[in-house]
Homo-oligomer: A and B are copies of this chain.
Amino acid sequence: MKIGFVGLGNMGSAMARNLLKAGHAVTVYNRTRARAEEFASIAASPAEAAAGEVVITMLADDHAVDDAAQELVKALQPGAIHVSMSTISPALSERMQQAHTQAGQGYIAAPVLGRPEAAAAAKLFILAAGPADALAACRPLFDALGQRTFILGENPPAANVVKLSCNFLLAAAIESLAEAFAWTRKAGIDPQVYLELLTSTLFTAPVYKTYGRLIAEEAYTPAGFKMPLGLKDVRLALAAAESSNVPLPMASLIHDHMVGALALGFENLDWSALGRIAALRAGLAPL
């Protein structure tokens, strides 16, 4: 297929490469051109990348996606599809859906689960929602990018809700570990013993292993996912849930702790530095 790809961050670059490998014709666009130069076909604007059957956006936040989408709505051919894969608000997803539909274009929300390494290995999980025919048309792309695609119905914003809910669940697991490590450490338990105990008994999922280790070792830098990005996602979760009149008390709690982390200057630490916040709250010095 002839595809435009907008947004070549760590995730986007790896994904665009996999689409090329799978034999698709990919034209890329990135605001900072240097990151685009490994690719053969480079567009000078999102609009220029929108000449094919599909354009994929994989950008940092609502603001960047909104900017790009306003160009795409003008540039896409009737019947062409915008596949929005960024982690964004369901509200923006809904506005894009309306704009593309009005313009006779297709729109799919297909955010992903997985870190850059999973993107590179084409092992992402893809959370897709949109009209059945558009989803069918994009199936080969999803297969080139991920290990499994979950179809979440015809309403694109629902996929964005699911993605945000997954990040909320990750944040909740991190916060619970943060509190448990602070408590047990103050009660005299060796953090490494505790980590081994948790992750070889009840909490065997990778999320507990990964974040448990970071908290046990207070290894908050270099950051895999920085605190302000974590806060952004929790904020999006709270706003999206609020728009459905759903309170998320755990997300509020985590939100407040993350805001407190920024107050202490943790903006370059990994979001698992909620562990340091919990330790400080308990009067513990850094390890």
A interface list, Cβ under 8 A from B:
90, 113, 125, 127, 148, 150, 152-153, 155, 157-158, 161-162, 165-166, 168-170, 172-173, 175-177, 179-180, 182-184, 186-190, 193-194, 196-198, 200-208, 235, 240-242, 244-253, 255-257, 259-260, 262-265, 281-283
Contacts and interface: CB of A to CB of B under 8 A. Distances in A.
A183 B201 contact: no
A176 B179 contact: no
Contacts of A203: 169, 205, 207
A193 B152 contact: yes
A115 to B, nearest CB: 11
Chain copies in the assembled complex? 4
Contacts of A202: 113, 166, 169-170, 205-207
A180 B153 contact: no
Nearest to A175: B250
Contacts of A162: 184, 189, 194, 197
B252 A256 contact: yes
A179 B202 CA distance: 21
A162 B169 CA distance: 23
Chain A facing B: main interface SS:
helix
Given A193-B152, A245-B283, A177 B169 contact: yes
B249 A253 contact: yes
> Which of A125, A202, A235 gathers the greatest number of chain B CB atoms within 10 Å?
A202
Contacts of A165: 180, 183-184
Contacts of A113: 201-202
Contact of A263 (B175, B177, B255, B283): B283
A127 B176 contact: no
11 contacts: A90-B187, A152-B197, A162-B189, A162-B194, A169-B177, A169-B180, A186-B245, A204-B206, A260-B281, A263-B281, A263-B282
Nearest to A114: B201
Given A202-B205, A250-B250, 4 more contacts: A205-B208, A249-B257, A252-B256, A253-B253
